[in-house]
Chain A
């Protein structure tokens, strides 16, 4: 499917991952969600995803992750010559200044603090999809894909 929309979600908390999957399924059933439980797995996928798969439209990233920390994942993504164009939205329960500073310094496109209320959480996911998968315009992904292949070879 040429214009399949892909969202990558990196989250070690299985309950939260399921929560987002369910909300996304409910509002945007056509979106393909790829979930990773640690930073290492996410990096391995994102820095060279399989050629048959399209580049993701959005990356949702938690900060506290096993193996490779969220900030480190962000740093590596944003340091990559091609992948850095993909929008990365930090999704964390932390509102510590240090975390916010670190995230923006390393090029996070947005930082969202997980609300504690279920309704607010659900609403946030809806708006997130509306903005990043609707309103927001991104560079042509096919170009990214081609140059990525060229880059790889």
Chain B
């Protein structure tokens, strides 16, 4: 009694397999619309044949099958191409089978397929997939037409058939079209969304690589860190390493940044603030990547349940930032040096003109006076005038000699050798023997002065200028005593001290005594260049010089510091060194 129902279910199960097969093949097989439609048409044609081959006896004398449903679906979802191919295949099979109902059988195939194609045309793409009503209307019209075709069966059969077929054709089949059309439509939407999603994901990954940022999501309760493929790459982890924990991330982080990053994460977990922190990732090859981690807490029901954020590779920016800062610092230093040099040059120019003017006035004036005194035959005054003139000439010569000497330092020193400072002191003492004897000064040298790396001639000049300076500023009330000592500083630098018991240096001039012409011409002695020369030579040796007063009127101590080690600093005594001043 219910055999027909089982047969219909049997038939419909076959249709279901069509849908499943279709959605399965859809992912692997051709993507373009036309290729998809051809495939779908072939499939529908095949299933149509299957339907006809498994036709069942609906009622005695009435053999039924579901080919019309398949044809309507083929037109609806395969379009003109799919529909025509399905009709051709199914129709071809029906032609081969032949028999008395051949023409009517063909007509039902064509009617259902054509209405399917028309339905496809009439339902706009914007409203795709079709609604159940649209599907039902298409199914109903297709089967109404097929039903009418049945009326062309031979006379004794047709009334009986029409009466029996009305229920499946007009009642069941349109509903079956609705069911399978809906499934097909959903499948299409799903496949379409999936392809869009896949594409979007691809685009997203490419964008992450280009902009060098990876995204992450951290679930608090499961300690699970989900990362995008590019973030895996940044963390030097295979893309399929999942799940990650927060510790995996910290393991890749430079230990020096742990505290700062941990603090930022803790604050976000407490819901206090968003994460924005910088740190370094350690790559497998030991390379460091500067990264910026940003993120925010996600609150569900008043509780922070997860954090989401990005990790951005800022190495390039950071590197250029650091470079920029280094450059700025270098520029700053250079500017300061240049400004200092400029200031010194300016002082120098003024001082030179000033100090050359003074003897000029002396010479000019006393030449005039010489005339007068000679005319007056005042022998005493003539001698005095001549003395002044001669002293002024001497001073000018000394000044010019010293300045030339100073300007030559950078050019003439070309080699450095080990220099025994004991020898330097002895030679300097010999050089100044006359002055030392006249002043009655005594020099006490510490035993075993060390040997330094430098230029013997220049170092002798240093010692000579320091001793001359001490002689010049001796205290007339006591005999001059000069102590030369040495010590090693903790850093390995050598410190040479030259102390005297002379009249000392006033604190306010102390900072300037190594400048050119700091004193101006003193009483007859010195050109104001000597200590500037000392500083210049010490700088050339990578060392420095400074002075400290022992107290008011209790002498001064000059300190010479030589850098540790025998290697002179870079650029030491370079041939190309420019003279500081051009005269």
Q: Which residues of A contact B (CB under 8 A)?
A: 12-16, 18-19, 22, 37-38, 63-69, 72, 92-94, 96, 114-119, 121
Contact = CB atoms under 8 A, between A and B. Distances in A.
Contact of A116 (B350, B360, B367, B391): B360
Contact of A66 (B355, B360, B369, B522): B522
A116 B364 contact: yes
B521 interface: yes
B388 A94 contact: no
A24 B67 CA distance: 141
A66 B358 contact: no
A93 B523 contact: no
B554 to A, nearest CB: 14
B92 interface: no
A16 B361 contact: yes
A65 to B, nearest CB: 8
Contacts of A65: 520
Nearest to A96: B350
27 contacts: A14-B524, A15-B362, A15-B388, A15-B392, A16-B358, A19-B361, A19-B366, A19-B369, A37-B523, A63-B520, A64-B517, A65-B520, A66-B522, A67-B506, A68-B506, A72-B508, A93-B354, A93-B355, A94-B350, A94-B354, A114-B361, A115-B361, A116-B364, A117-B364, A118-B369, A119-B368, A121-B365
A26 to B, nearest CB: 10
B362 A12 contact: no
A58 B114 CA distance: 129
Given A68-B506, A69-B509, A19 B523 contact: no
A119 B364 CA distance: 9
A115 B355 CA distance: 13
Nearest to B365: A118
A116 B365 CA distance: 8
Interface string B365-405: 11111000000000000001000100110000000000000
Contacts of B509: 69
A13 B360 contact: no
Interface of B: 350, 354-355, 357-358, 360-362, 364-369, 384, 388, 391-392, 503, 506, 508-509, 517, 519-524
Contacts of B523: 12, 14, 37-38, 66
A16 to B, nearest CB: 7
Contacts of B517: 64
A69 B522 CA distance: 12
A64 B520 contact: yes
Nearest to A115: B361
Contacts of A117: 364
A13 B508 contact: no
Chain B binding surface, main DSSP class: helix
Contacts of A121: 361, 365
Contacts of B388: 14-15, 18
Given A18-B388, A121-B365, 8 more contacts: A14-B388, A14-B523, A22-B369, A93-B354, A96-B350, A96-B354, A118-B367, A118-B369
Given A96-B354, A117-B364, A13 B521 contact: yes
A131 B368 CA distance: 25
A19 B357 contact: no
A24 B368 CA distance: 16
Nearest to B519: A66
B137 to A, nearest CB: 103
Nearest to B528: A64
A40 to B, nearest CB: 8
B368 A118 contact: yes
Contacts of B508: 69, 72
Contacts of B367: 118
A63 B517 CA distance: 13
Contacts of A63: 520
Contact of A12 (B368, B506, B520): B520
Contacts of B521: 12-13, 64
Contacts of B360: 116
A18 B364 CA distance: 14
Nearest to A22: B369
A81 B503 CA distance: 29
A13 B358 contact: yes
A125 to B, nearest CB: 11
A115 B360 CA distance: 10
Nearest to A64: B520
A114 B506 CA distance: 27
Given A64-B519, A116-B357, A15 B391 contact: yes
A20 to B, nearest CB: 10
A110 to B, nearest CB: 19
A146 B37 CA distance: 127
B366 A15 contact: yes
Contacts of A18: 384, 388
A63 B521 CA distance: 11
Contacts of A93: 354-355, 357-358, 361
A37 B524 CA distance: 11
Contacts of A92: 354
A122 B370 CA distance: 15
A37 B538 CA distance: 32
Contact of B364 (A14, A72, A118): A118
Nearest to B503: A67
A116 B384 contact: no
B359 to A, nearest CB: 8
A139 to B, nearest CB: 30
Contacts of A14: 388, 391, 523-524
Contacts of B364: 116-118
A96 B354 CA distance: 9
Contacts of A116: 357, 360-361, 364
A146 B384 CA distance: 41
